[in-house]
A and B are shown apart, each in its own frame.
Chain A
Amino acid sequence: MIMSPSLRKLVLTAHVASSIGWFGAVTAFLALALAGLFSQDRELVRAAYQVMGVITWFVIVPLALSGLFTGLISSLGTRWGVFRHYWVLMKLVLTVLATLILLIHTQPVDLLADTAARTTMLSTDLARTRLQMVIASGGGLVVLLVLTVLSVYKPQGMTRYGQRKLAEQRTAAPSVDTTT
């Protein structure tokens, strides 16, 4: 079903806002992860990991799910479709993968936040998990940047499914040469 122009713009606005928010929140997360990994100030490190736990559950996860959901509605409600163009399909795959990886990483984030709340957080504690947070959020930012590039440039290319659907539409509505 094709959405009306006003509804399409509303959903698109929600999608863009969610995506921008997701990007900004992950950037903040990366800054906190770097502070937690390299800072010598124990109180700052403890605060950083506790804040990371809060923004993960109350900012990043909701924005990621919102971005995925509004993106799907935008695709389904316009002639772009979900599976018709490679760039849309690529965005869907990357967004689903990024969301899954994010949800998996909520466990070590919770572990760090809980440890920071209960202990003095020595610099050697959970060193690999702390490094993992930096790598994961850095990788996440790269994926989000790729998603942004795909949205802006919309590289050409229709899938076989998209080509078939287009051919079906042409068959259903006989062509009229408007160039004459």
Chain B
Amino acid sequence: MKHEFIHPTTMEDTPMAPSSVHADSAGATDVDTGVRHDRPATTPRWVKVSVGVLLLLVLVVIILHLTGNGFGRHLHMGIITHGGPWQ
């Protein structure tokens, strides 16, 4: 296992949590957060996939609005037809 980023004894020495981390042969695990700090510093795949899905959804919403199927058109039609609560 790589130890590119953090030494196994990592956060044990931080002033915030002097006793909240234990070190073992596999690396350091923060007891409070459960996070291991011996992983390489790359963006995880789940983040890339999530951001991709999020951007796709935003794109779909924008396209729906541009084609006249979005939220604004619904509301305006409703107000025009029924007067709306602001009259």
Indicate if B3 sits at the interface (CB-CB under 8 A). Answer: no
Please tell me if the beta carbons of A108 and B74 are within 8 angstroms of each other in the complex: yes
Please tell me if the beta carbons of A114 and B85 are within 8 angstroms of each other in the complex: yes
Indicate if A73 sits at the interface (CB-CB under 8 A). Answer: no
Complex CA–CA separation, A163 to B38 (angstroms): 11
Number of A-B contacts (CB under 8 A): 105
Indicate if A169 sits at the interface (CB-CB under 8 A). Answer: yes
Q: Per a CB cutoff under 8 Å, which of A129, A160, A163, A176 touches B75?
A: A129
Please tell me if the beta carbons of B71 and A132 are within 8 angstroms of each other in the complex: yes
CB-based nearest A residue for B82 = A115
Q: Report chain A residues within 8 Å CB of B77.
A: 128
List chain B positions with a Cβ less than 8 A from chain A.
5-17, 23, 30, 32-37, 39, 41, 43-44, 46-47, 50, 54, 71, 74-75, 77-79, 81-82, 84-85
List chain A positions with a Cβ less than 8 A from chain B.
2, 78-80, 85-86, 90, 93, 104-105, 107-108, 110-111, 113-115, 119, 125-126, 128-129, 132, 154-158, 160, 163, 166, 169-170, 172-179
